[in-house]
Structure 1
């Protein structure tokens, strides 16, 4: 997905009714509008001493974009646009007025009173599937038990890729900071049999119980229904386990490059480590899988939605102000329930731009069209996903964090 596509200024923004806006006091509104530095940071529009215009995506290092911290305002002289901190989040992140104010006040992004979606979408009832049953009660309990500490940990985790805090909170990501204690809590409340039925615990070939949610894989990425219930989840590694995953990926890439050069690949490749763990046994044809459905269900008809692969790419796209739907994998089956949510909108499918990614794009577009969804490939000029585009923007602004260093070594080796 090229940066130009992610920074186009034509995305549709939802607007709140005056009644919704009146829930804030004048003091709250004044406080939120003045947080201009926080707004640029929250939107991921500041890096390396440079600012990015939320309207046309142009990076400014000089005097063409002015920020007045005392007045809490910004103005881009290239686009002629400007405003306060609330305006910035609405333009740069696609938030509504109420969502932007809540984010700047340090509250959950969701408005206190939401307008009804134009087309009501039914929620997902529990469905029995192959080897496990979708159990929103258990999954919701997992997320609630993580509390604010887990949400803050998730903000820090995804911040390593310059993903904005509002995107993390909006998607419902969290972290089991004390996974062992959470496991004990779940067993005492629901019993091991139910945890196995809903897929949180699986039995290995040796008869050992294996928790998908653990200290090695504590980052929780939920699949939410339009009503916000948890219909599924996957788990990402953190800490030492994340380093092991990255070490295997780097070694595998070096071995592949060696084979392409006709050389012998290194023999000491670290053992394979999965990038994430997903609930096993759910029948995708009957379930409501995918990331971003609650927000998409509230969009006005004919909104443009970018289709990406994976939870993290949804967060990256949302950081850059784009509406996004994330497939859990290129081979994921799109159910009728998902198609009902997507059908009112125009979808641009943007996966990796290499040959394999292009084949997957064609397959996903064809599947969506079979369901009556308006879909077409997004323009793509480079083999990058949404997270690559976001990290690359910061790397080119001079950031040298680990994610930016890795991006430079992959895409611009001379600048690393």
Structure 2
């Protein structure tokens, strides 16, 4: 069989271009025998009624790092497989070493499988983040040998750094290939369920920001975490995009220092830069955060004006510009537009539409946004302002940080202790709130 190293497409003969993903020269030959269907010699599967299944009672392992436990859903679940991805140098290994130190202090046995670094390099970094010396280290890339050794006395926590460097000797493909990554992850998943060990797996990301290897890797594991942030800055964001044991889209905010990563106690204060942009009460998982959305609209001297976004969907920005031009009669076709979410956070929810529109109008008309005001609402194609989820929680966070006004969709009921409401049914009413 020939297997695509990008998407996992299978073909019976070599092809120059993969029909699955369109990539050139990505198909690699692999033994077909390892993929033949196994009949099992007539073995039958056993069926159980749901009422007959014993209720599993487990205790989550606490890492002692509040932001890390929050993203995991309250702690690490035994017999789970957790995948952590992120750019090179963002702090994945540092965070896991710190968590390993806390698990050790809690009485757990932890094994660190280092496939990318030598034992001396791991010790140097471990001493910097104050990891106890009883951490067990395996500088090995043969995953089968490591699992065979640990099978006699499995630890409570196993850290594999990284999944692209380990390999299974019964596969002929190179480490990091699609087949090796998929089979290694599947082997770790089965081993974790059988031994009751919680396994952390570090994954590399591609230039596009996706986890390297087949997409099935994210479907196999129990939890998928992404480490985000600017390597030149001190702050990092850990985001859960899949969690079978807790809420998704939960985030944890960390600050990188000389002694490793430390949790940020008040993330909302960090994301507010005081630059005069529109303040938006975001909801990341169950956590409300206040972020500042900054816009710069200037005259363009190019045939095709630039549309540049940092932390926001560029296609949604184009849609909002078209809505403003259609319903407010304000031209943007001859303007360069730059949009930035301060602090490095990526906003994915449509509830930020109203704040983006307010920032764009303030810059385009050279107006000043009202002080101590937050903006929250979705803007439809016909110019209507639509209601969003969790508005009460968002406004409570705004009130806690001293914001007194909130521009929100019409139909929102005022509550005691929350900011004063300015309700809008149409996006055109935003002009009345600019001075």
Question: Do they fold alike, i.e. is TM over 0.5?
Answer: no
- Normalising TM by the smaller chain, what interval? under 0.3
**Larger RCO of the pair (alpha carbons < 8 Å, separation 6+):** 1
The structure with more radius of gyration? 2
Question: Counting strand residues as a fraction of each chain, which structure ranks higher?
Answer: 2
TM-score (norm 2): 0.24
TM-score (normalised: structure 1): 0.25
